[in-house]
Structure 1
Amino acid sequence: MILIDRDSPHRDDVHLLLSEHLADMFATSPAESVHALDPAALAGPDISFWTAREGGALLGCGALKVLKPVPGQAASAELKSMRTSAQARGRGVATLVLLHILADARANSLERVYLETGTEDYFAPARRLYARHGFTDCPPFADYRPDPNSVFMELQL
């Protein structure tokens, strides 16, 4: 049984998965277009971080960063650091983590979830996952600027 629960990005196995994530981001995108967070940033007070585990083995992770309120706009957050371990890919782990995070966002009265991902073929499975769950393309949000290496997406909850 796969269990998804809040966790620390500083745990050794999580740190390793996040290091692989960052390495892949820098290998597939120009440095100025990499917006992945390191474990220290993922432990910040405005971020909730979850892992998916089976029998204690780490299968994946994801985070939700609450965005600064903007007068006249809905309460929103950004999906961050979605990652599935290589041995768990194809098992639906990313879908389970995403659905868990979206349920938490709804429970916390957030009205919109945004994300940024890459344009390269490497990111095509992620873009398909998000589109399957209702995310649509949108303009840059928060502090992001237009970037030919980035796709911005949103989901109204």
Structure 2
Amino acid sequence: MKIIKDDLTGPEIKALLQAHLDDMYATSPPESVHALDIDALRQPEITFWTAWLEDDLAGCIALKTIESGHGEIKSMRTTENARGKGVASKLLAHLTSMAEENGLTRLSLETGTEAFFEPARNLYQRDGFVECEPFASYSLDPNSVFMTKLLTR
């Protein structure tokens, strides 16, 4: 598997991100969907990576710097064909390594409370994330779980 910094122009990533947004809106109330569309992911404070198995897109992940030393995980998604192959774990490890290299000391994320999000919550817990209060501009939401992890450099 290779992980590359992505410019968000390929048709494969456009399709994966649209599927991600479609699932978020099908699973959560609109006011509780915090997934970013492709244009929002092109902001300078966001770095976006894709994972590839041979020539097939396997997944994606983004890192948004929200304040000095603090980053947020956005747009974590794997393709149907890549599920169960360790792609999400490798993407998370890559993002964490890049965050540490760039001087971040804390990573946080928001995910859903619904059963659909249980695999994601389990992945983050296995990686050392713990539940926390809302951060950045988030507020309490019964459909959101907030998690954070301190990084060791």
TM-score using structure 1 length: 0.95
Aligned match for 2:120, one of 118, 123, 126: 126
Structure 1 position 11, deviation (Å)? 1.5
Structure 1 position 10, deviation (Å)? 2.6
Tell me, which stretches of 5 or more residues in structure 1 are unaligned? 70-74
Q: Match for 2:67: what amino acid?
A: K
Structure 1 position 43, deviation (Å)? 1.1
Tell me, which stretches of 5 or more residues in structure 2 are unaligned? none
Structure 1 position 68, deviation (Å)? 3.0
Structure 1 position 124, deviation (Å)? 0.2
SS in 2 for 1:77: strand
SS in 2 for 1:67: strand
Aligned residues: 151
**1:87 paired to 2:61:** no
1:64 aligned residue: 63
Aligned match for 1:147, one of 120, 141, 152: 141
What root-mean-square deviation, in Å, do the aligned CA atoms of Structure 1 and Structure 2 show? Answer: 0.7
Q: Match for 1:131: what amino acid?
A: Q
Deviations 1:90-127 (A, max 9, x none): 00100000000000000001000000000000000000
SS in 1 for 2:111: strand
- Find the aligned partners of 1:95 and 1:116 in 2 and give their Cα distance: 17
- Find the aligned partners of 1:104 and 1:88 in 2 and give their Cα distance: 22
After TM superposition, where is structure 1 displaced by more than 6 Å over at least 4 residues in a row?
none
1:53 aligned residue: 52
Alpha carbons 1:10, 1:40 under 8 Å: kept: no
SS in 1 for 2:67: coil
Work out the percentage of aligned pairs sharing the same amino acid. 52
2:8 aligned residue: 9
TM-score using structure 2 length: 0.97
Alpha carbons 1:10, 1:39 under 8 Å: kept: no
SS in 1 for 2:39: helix
